[in-house]
Amino acid sequence: MLLISVLFMWNVTELSSVFRMFKKKHTLFDDRFTKTMCMAITMISSFVLALYIQLLLPANQTGLYLLPIVVGLFIGWKFGTIIKAPAILNGIYNGTMGGIMGMMLGAVLQNPALCNIPIESEAMIVSNMYSLAIFAACLHALISQFIRYSFRV
């Protein structure tokens, strides 16, 4: 669990740095560029953060079980309000979709019998979870690197 918390902090730091850069430079770009970049960063970051939250929350609780979707919706809303009306719909749609998908992947990784995946032993489940979480964090780093590179040129 400590490893997943460290990955969570890393991705939140990266996401906030991208958001601050976006906020500072958004008058330089046209609407199409802003819409595309909002779509890309909203989709991948809400997916990855919802996956981590679903893995970090204890199983079988009822109070917080919609939290990953709410986090995805919040990310989409924040990125959508950078420019006006059509982008906020785009952001909310992509953020909620990413949140639902990340929650589903997290639930399957915690309990592989949901999907008929033939993994039985406890150690296999844990190593499976850690390897996919590290892979998702690397993908998030790659995509935010591409987006930060696109602000420079």
Partner 1 sequence: MAKITILLILYVDVCIALGFYSYLRRVKKIIGFQLGMNISIVMGGMTALLSGILLIQNYPFHFTLITVITTLLGLTTGALFGLLFDYQTFVSGLTNGVIVGLMSPMIGTVIEMPSLFIWFVHAFFVLCLITIFVSIKRS
List residues near partner 1 by CB under 8 A.
32-33, 36-37, 39-40, 43-44, 47, 98, 101, 104-105, 108, 112, 115-119, 128, 131-132, 135-136, 139, 143, 146-147, 150, 153
Q: How far is the CB of 115 from partner 1 (least distance, A)?
A: 5
Closest CA to 57 of 121, 11, 102, 122: 102
Q: How far is the CB of 37 from partner 1 (least distance, A)?
A: 7
Q: How far is the CB of 85 from partner 1 (least distance, A)?
A: 20
Q: How far is the C-alpha of 135 from the C-alpha of 151, rounded, in Å?
A: 25
Q: Identify which of residues 8 and 47 has a Cβ nearer to partner 1 in the complex.
A: 47
C-alpha distances out from residue 19 to 81, 122, 145, Å: 11, 39, 13
Number of C-beta neighbours around residue 11 at 10 A: 20
Q: How far is the CB of 117 from partner 1 (least distance, A)?
A: 5
Q: Identify which of residues 3 and 64 has a Cβ nearer to partner 1 in the complex.
A: 3
8 Å CB contact between 52 and 4:
yes
Q: Identify which of residues 32 and 62 has a Cβ nearer to partner 1 in the complex.
A: 32
Which of the 8 DSSP states describes residue 66? Answer: T
Q: How far is the CB of 144 from partner 1 (least distance, A)?
A: 11
In 16-142 the beta strands, taken as DSSP E runs, fall at: none
Q: Identify which of residues 64 and 113 has a Cβ nearer to partner 1 in the complex.
A: 113
Q: Identify which of residues 35 and 78 has a Cβ nearer to partner 1 in the complex.
A: 35
Residue type at 4 in one-letter notation: I
Q: How far is the C-alpha of 19 from the C-alpha of 76, rounded, in Å?
A: 11
